Amino acid sequence: MTPRDVAVVAFARSGHHEPADGLSEAEMLLPVLHDALDQAGLAPGEADFTCSGSSDYLAGRPFSFTLALDGVGAWPPIAESHVEMDGAWALYEAWVKILTGQAGTALVYAHGKPSSGDLRDVLTRQLDPYYLAPLWPDPACLAALQTRALLDAGLIDEAALLTDEAAPVPSADGHPSGTPHAPGARAATDGAAAVVLAAGATARRMCTRPAWIRGIDHRIESHALGLRDLTDSPSTRLAAERAGAFDAPVDTAELHTADAAQEAVLRRALRLDGTVTVNPSGGTPATDPVMAAGLIRLGEAAARIHRGASDRALAHATSGPCLQQNLVAVLEGEPAGHPGAEPEGART
């Protein structure tokens, strides 16, 4: 049996919310869900499968995702799942659900309100609880360890970093050469994102130019930073290989990074040369809402295909310190004039 063709047919994201907006997660999410559902012509509760990504550690409450369900029309009961991860991994689960024939359409969403707590503390709780978490190393400092390793290896230079908005700031004692410190220290904002996935003919009906998912894979590396080569990302390379990213050139790449140094690591692992347009969405992944930032990269890549601005795009999402876990998706649009109208059943 030929696997079903599955596409991203709609994408929506919120603006960057301020804590002063006083919104609950459900209130923040609702307009975004409706935007994505409207694009696909779906009513709330109508998607065959719903999957979300968020984190109780951001909200400070157990099962916090259940309140967000108020926004999706979950009664009468819907088929629903949740990952305590970035929404990119929720998209992966929904993609598998559709591939296995258990659903024809899926709503995927993610939301994060990092302003509820202090990310510098919260993100230490995802680290190895025996050797790392008791030291409370904040994420910016861990990212700076990676930047320093890349500088030492000559894979990036300080001049390049300093021209980047995310450049390491000079240390407090005025160290002149820009000691790597605190890339990614810019505060992440609150927000949400949603996409709709659909299979075959349904996707064609919902979207003029669906972004067909040609492959997705995600891989993880050790939780022990000292075991890893921080100048490389073998998990990204393997995920890209398994997603088919190297089978043909891509014209666009949306990368989920905290800073310019991480982008350098990914460019090498993904073999992106000067011909590839990187992050054309103008996105600022470092300030995108935590838990939605990766899904936003996938959504932005898909939206570019929807608009006809890309024919083959790579989207990347990451999780954990120093690019510990990485997801790579390859999306394609069909050439203009592609018949594309064959019934879904004809492909099986």
Partner 1 sequence: MPENLTAPLVVAFPFTRSLGPVQSAFLTGLRERTVLGVRTRDGRVLVPPVEYDPVTAEEIRDLVEVGTTGTVTTWAWNPAPRHRQPLRTPFAWALVRLDGADTALLHALDAPHARAVRTGMRVRIRWAAHREGAITDIACFEPYDGTATATAGATPHGGAFADPVTTLTTPARLDYTYAPGRAQTRYLHALAGRRILGERCPSCRRVCVPPRGACPTCGVATAEHVEVGPRGTVTTFCVVNIKAKGLDIDVPYVYAHIALDGADLALHARIGGIPYDEVRMGMRVEPVWTDDSRHPDHYRPAPEPDAAYDTYKELL
- φ and ψ of 30, to 5 deg: -55, -50
- 230 contacts partner 1 (rule: CB under 8 A): yes
From candidates 4, 16, 82, 148, binder to partner 1 by CB under 8 A:
148
- 187 contacts partner 1 (rule: CB under 8 A): no
- What span, in angstroms and rounded, lies between the C-alpha atoms of 181 and 158? 12
- 307 contacts partner 1 (rule: CB under 8 A): no
- 60 contacts partner 1 (rule: CB under 8 A): yes
- 135 contacts partner 1 (rule: CB under 8 A): yes
Going from the C-alpha of 263 to that of each of 119, 187, 281, 284, the distances in angstroms are 22, 19, 15, 12
- 273 contacts partner 1 (rule: CB under 8 A): no
CB of 190 to partner 1, least distance (A): 10
Our CB check for partner 1 shows the closer of 24 and 284 to be 24
Q: Give the three-state DSSP class for 205.
A: helix
- 186 contacts partner 1 (rule: CB under 8 A): no
Helix ranges, 113-184 (H): 119-122, 139-152, 158-163
CB of 136 to partner 1, least distance (A): 4
- What span, in angstroms and rounded, lies between the C-alpha atoms of 43 and 40? 9
Biggest distance spanned by C-alpha atoms of the chain: 68
Q: Give the three-state DSSP class for 196.
A: strand
Beta carbons of 151 and 259 less than 8 angstroms apart: no
- 55 contacts partner 1 (rule: CB under 8 A): no
Our CB check for partner 1 shows the closer of 33 and 88 to be 33
From candidates 35, 96, 137, 186, binder to partner 1 by CB under 8 A:
137
Single out the segment in contact with partner 1 by CB under 8 A; choices: 92-100, 134-142, 197-205, 331-339: 134-142
Our CB check for partner 1 shows the closer of 142 and 206 to be 142
Our CB check for partner 1 shows the closer of 22 and 345 to be 22
- CA-wise closest residue to 195 among 112, 78, 281, 108: 108
Work out the burial of residue 48: count CB atoms within 10 Å of its CB; fewer than 13 is exposed, 13-18 middle, 19 or more buried: buried
From candidates 224, 249, 338, 342, binder to partner 1 by CB under 8 A:
224
DSSP 256-309: --SSHHHHHHHHHHTT--TTSEE-TT---TTTSPTTTHHHHHHHHHHHHHHTTS
CB of 295 to partner 1, least distance (A): 19
Positions touching partner 1 (CB under 8 A) are 19-27, 30-31, 33-34, 44-45, 57, 59-61, 67, 69-76, 113, 115-118, 120-122, 125, 129-138, 141-142, 144-149, 152, 171-173, 175, 179-181, 222, 224-227, 230
